[in-house]
Structure 1
Amino acid sequence: MKPKIILFVRQLSFARQYFDYLLSALSTKYDIYIFHTNNLESSNINENCPYINYDISNLSHKKVQSLLNKINPSDLLVTNIRSLLDIYIFITCNMNNIPLTYIEHGLTLNKISRFKASNKYHSLIKYLNYCKKVIGYLLSCRNPISNFRTIKRAIINSDYTGIKLNNALLYAPGSKGVLDKHFDLSKTIIRYSGYPIVNKNSDLQFLLKSITKKQAVYIHQPLIIDNFSELSISDEVELLQELNDIFKKNNYSLIIKLHPRDDIRNYKNKLPNCNIIGTEMDIHQLIASSEIVLGHFSTALLTAVLLKKSLYILDYWKIKNDANKFFSPIAPTISKSSEIELIFTDRNTNTRKMTDSFIKNIIGFDNSKEARIQKLEKLLC
């Protein structure tokens, strides 16, 4: 009988979209289970999921505990550190002595306890549900007062030192520097896998040798869906059209690489004159073939850093948090649309001047899915 592993994600589709290569590799040695909250996220079940999955959205702590007892996992994998629900999963694993493994996905800097109220009513419903689980946990644990203080420090102060994190699969040492501010990592086993850009490390040479076209790519993010921006949909459409017009005027083609969670049909209908693409083209290959890369704080911008592209951060889209600051030492920030014209007269060379050691500190080595699989397997042994 194979040991069992649980992956916890917000939406079941995330498991296939972002972690399918890891789960496929692990499934040869482990039975894979997935905990998700599709119902709370108003997300449809992915009927094609090949793994046993449970929607824990409306389950009480007692029922979650019963599931954990039934499955008896050897490890539980988490990818987020930003809500009361994540904290609940952490403390429940600690109480049951289930090893907790954090897999870095996105920028760790922006994952620490950030409450996002993209829809106030919906967010209230979710947090009432989270509180219900936490109360159930506190009523069943041995030291409710001490554990309540641990939860309070985590959600209010981003202080996770009272929570045990057994393992962490990170991109690079720079990520550890962020986690160190929140967790006690003295007993955490950490491995660095690099930010996965290609399937095999040897494939990276093909990206490095890509023929660069006179084009720019804007790496889109679901800023409005996730309440990262104060823009309305009409505001965003207007900004995208303006961006496209400026590049066209300067004889550059602009490609808008839409985030997978946004509806491409909606954007194409509103921006018929823009070149908008979804998942039909690999984002890393798209960056490799572009002279200029524009974005906000997407993890995909790390590819632009690795390939030493001319990278610019758009900071006039009413971003609510300081996430854009992650790339401030690397790329210039454009604070208003009129500054975009400067791109064509004063091309950014910051990324070209960065030392390899600086790049590796934030992106890591062996930037392949193959390396990530190997490092994760070693962590779970």
Structure 2
Amino acid sequence: MRLLIAATALLLASCSSGDETAADSGPTSSPVTEVGAATSVDTTIRAVLRVPLSLYRVASSDESVFGSSSRTEDELRSIADKMNTIWAQADVVFDPVRVETIVVPAELLTGIDQLDPDDFLRAAGREFDIPEPGVINGFYVASAGRVNGFAPSSQRVFFVVDEPGVNDERVSSHEIGHILGLHHDLDDADRLLFSGTNGEALTPEEQTVARYFARGYLIGVGLAPVVLEIPNVGDGSLEGHTPRGFAGSGTGLFAGDNLNENFPNDDGVQIFLAFELPSQLPPFESVSLVSDALNVQGDPFGTLGTLRAAPVSFDNFSPPVFETEPTGPTSACTVGSDGRFRCDVTEAASSAIAADDSHIQIRVRFDEVGNGDGEQDLAMFFLTNSNTNEPGIFRLIFD
């Protein structure tokens, strides 16, 4: 696959070249299946921009000419996780992240060592394969002259050496900063764009510029960024689970049957969610309820029917909420092979917005209360542990 390296025409300026010199130095979910929202949200909330990122460990075709990177693919995945922590301040998330090892002709790597990547970039996709290139692509090489890393001008690629003089995730994030239109800072060593330190801070102005470039790149490759993303509140006064046949409540987010021994006759359990609306919303066409935190116990999708989302309305989450009826039509959801839960809740969100509600509230449960086998069949949504609700387990994505 040919590596996409041209700068998008939608951007008004190309990215500057940047370098950091060493001298400065529960079970998983089922495959695709038909299946069934206070931490306050800032009224200036902005959409999380999800930028596909591919990281490549570069091996040499002839180590007698130039050496291979000594890194492992697991190291690159760890670097990507830490980069996401740095870039969270700008609401930029690298997702999905793909990590691969590629074998490159050794003579092309000698050019990288001289900070001249032109031959490498021309040969990419021709003389060596670049599997699954992302919107941004990072190459981890044994060495590159005397720098920690660099980002060629007007490209969506960067290079990082095996032994930089600063933290790996900081070098990578710094170079991505150049790809996203940022220039070196010369005054504040705590800033991400200051060379040769472990500073990670981005100013509000830098965040705005980086997001502008990220949006341009996403649009340029046909990945329109979302308009807005709102996490569930993660507050027990508005969210949790209840039985389906009697009054009760708990903090975990479970749907299914036989939650514990106190549930008689295969009684079911259902989830209640809340999402706080900002004071102003940008125009949107659709709203999806999404979660990447699904774990499955037993076989709820095979025995309890479809998992569905329905709009509801209540003042406070408490045991009597168990018999709350939907205020609108329910909608079936899907869980993909990647484990992502998704459901179209456009109508529910639009109704809450039209009614000037403070929150969008949603109930999630299976068609069937139980299957009579006396065994746990649960869809469990959690980030930390199954009994802990927290913001971000579910998200509303406005497109």
Q: TM over 0.5, yes or no?
A: no
* Structure with higher helix content: 1
Question: TM-score if structure 2 supplies the norm length?
Answer: 0.27
Higher relative contact order (CA 8 A, sep 6+): 2
Q: Which has the larger radius of gyration?
A: 2
Pick the structure with more strand per residue: 2
